[in-house]
Structure 1
Amino acid sequence: MKDWYEKSFGEDYLLVYKHRDAEGAAREVKKMISWLDLPPSARVLDLCCGTGRHALALADSGYRVSGVDLSDVLLREARKSDDRGRVEWHQADMRRLPLDGGFDAVLNLFTSFGYFREDGEQLKVLREIYRMLKPGGRFIIDFMNSPYVRSHLVPESEREAEGQRIVEKRRIERDFVIKDITITPMQGDGAQRQYHERVKLYTLEQMKQMLSDAGLAVDEVHGGYDEDEGYEEHTSERKIFVGRRPQSSKQA
């Protein structure tokens, strides 16, 4: 039986999340570049690249970029946007990457983490990030801020897009934030579609411990992509970890 992330990132995902645009990705990449301080032509891996917004912005900034995602639909859209073949695209599970590593940086953005039921499976992702990085290589993991999510969760919202009614219901169960999405055609006899998303909520200290267990060192934590937006436990919407694979350490 397929898990939620094997079913949710299809054609309807493009509808539900169509508000994420290339212009916003370019602004975020500019900030990420300032944090990472990468050399010219650095090799960068966008892990869980989706439709490739950030990967393409990185390529436009002069980096050699690879993008990995599990969804063939999202990778199809990424390749359509990459008419000049600037990025190497790969379809793979983030726990088992078909790449040899040697990257100067690995990015895992917009809560593309915490998808699995067991903590050990999330740790596999972090260990793959370690393996992908050259010694001294840098990483960014952009994750939701669990205290903020717990206090600001919107139980239900509804909107319309392209003739479809999209209803999103959210709840927290056993440290997972769960979203149930129902899409209903507003005219005609089209079938109603339903999707389920589930992401584990981790505290700052839990994330730092997992990163340490994977052999990764945290240098900074930011609360967003705005200028000098530091992390505040109860008011930051995100917690963005910036760190590195140490030159001489080994995985636990």
Structure 2
Amino acid sequence: MIKDKTTWYVSWFDSPFYHILYKNRDDREAQIFMDNLTQYLNIEEQGKILDLACGKGRHSVYLNSLGYHVTGADLSENSIKYAKQFENDTLKFEVHDMCKPFPETFDAVFNLFTSFGYFDKDEDNLNTIKAIKSDLNEYGIGVIDFMNSDHVIANLVPEDTKTVDGITFHLKRYVEDNHIIKDISFTFEGEDYNYQERVRAFTLKDFETLFEAAGVHLLEVFGNYKLQKFDAKTSDRLVMLIK
């Protein structure tokens, strides 16, 4: 049985199986979100955007197609290696730990699709907020797009399976120690694999505490990708604009 003992997000996000499991994500929904967000923020043409925890760069590529200068940053070396094929004069990708400030500032920093709350240490979550603040220029806005933990927990599907590219992934979901956890097991070429996703079940109140500790101001809160009002019970997302 194969079970990687390194930090879960390092081993899982850097594995090819992560990208197989999630290969059919809704790009159109993501693009509508990017359209709504950039229009709402009124980011000027050729403005600079940092896509923090960019994965293989699908959102960075789309943002760049809208005319922005985009830098995609991610801890996964394999993801960045893949994303670099899309680079051009106004689109760059870098391996980067989001707990640490980036060496330049931006008109906007996007942390999208629940790319937060992975760390075991509380100070790493706080340091990420501080880093986002330092990555913003004088007029820059940070965006953290997180799951609505209350809604996710209330609608958690305990167990299901998903077959992609001939691999049947067995998924188990549960809440433990204020984390929403997904156990992922499958067999590939005769080997059994086990991975885990473990995300802190942050609420808006939790984020407000982090923002206060980091000296960050919460400007707006939205509950979905149409940028409609947030409702803790019914909203799918928790989208926060900070400065």
Give the TM-score category using the shorter length. over 0.9
| Mapping of residues 6-85 of structure 1, within 5 Å | 6-9=10-13, 10-80=15-85, 82=86, 84=88
Superposed CA deviations along residues 157-180 of structure 1, whole A, max 9, x for unmatched, are: 102111110111111011011111
* Inter-partner Cα distance in structure 1 for 2:93 and 2:181: 29
Say yes or no: does 1:232 pair with 2:205: no
User: How many residues get paired?
Assistant: 238
Q: Which position in structure 1 is the counterpart of 2:112?
A: 109
Say yes or no: does 1:88 pair with 2:92: yes
Return the TM-score normalized by structure 2.
0.92
Segments of 5+ residues of structure 2 without an aligned counterpart are none
Q: Which runs of 4+ in 1 moved over 3 A?
A: 21-24, 83-86
| Mapping of residues 1-252 of structure 1, within 5 Å | 2-9=6-13, 10-80=15-85, 82=86, 84=88, 86-97=90-101, 99-185=102-188, 189-226=189-226, 228-244=227-243
Q: Are the equivalent residues in 2 in contact too, given 1:167–1:181 (CA < 8 A)?
A: yes
Q: Secondary structure at the match of 2:208?
A: helix
**Cα distance 1:217–1:56, how it changes in 2: closer, same or farther (>3 A)?**
same
* Inter-partner Cα distance in structure 2 for 1:157 and 1:77: 30
Compute the displacement of 1:181 (Å): 0.4
**Cα distance 1:46–1:20, how it changes in 2: closer, same or farther (>3 A)?**
same
Compute the displacement of 1:225 (Å): 0.8
Superposed CA deviations along residues 220-248 of structure 1, whole A, max 9, x for unmatched, are: 1111113x52211101111000122xxxx
Compute the displacement of 1:147 (Å): 0.9
Return the TM-score normalized by structure 1.
0.89
Superposed CA deviations along residues 87-131 of structure 1, whole A, max 9, x for unmatched, are: 11110211124x323211100001110011222110000000011
* Inter-partner Cα distance in structure 1 for 2:212 and 2:43: 23
**Cα distance 1:86–1:22, how it changes in 2: closer, same or farther (>3 A)?**
farther
Compute the displacement of 1:202 (Å): 1.2
Segments of 5+ residues of structure 1 without an aligned counterpart are 245-252
Compute the displacement of 1:79 (Å): 2.1
Q: Are the equivalent residues in 1 in contact too, given 2:87–2:93 (CA < 8 A)?
A: no
* Inter-partner Cα distance in structure 1 for 2:9 and 2:94: 17
**Pairwise CA RMSD:** 1.6
Superposed CA deviations along residues 174-208 of structure 1, whole A, max 9, x for unmatched, are: 101111101224xxx43121111111111111101
Q: Secondary structure at the match of 1:230?
A: coil
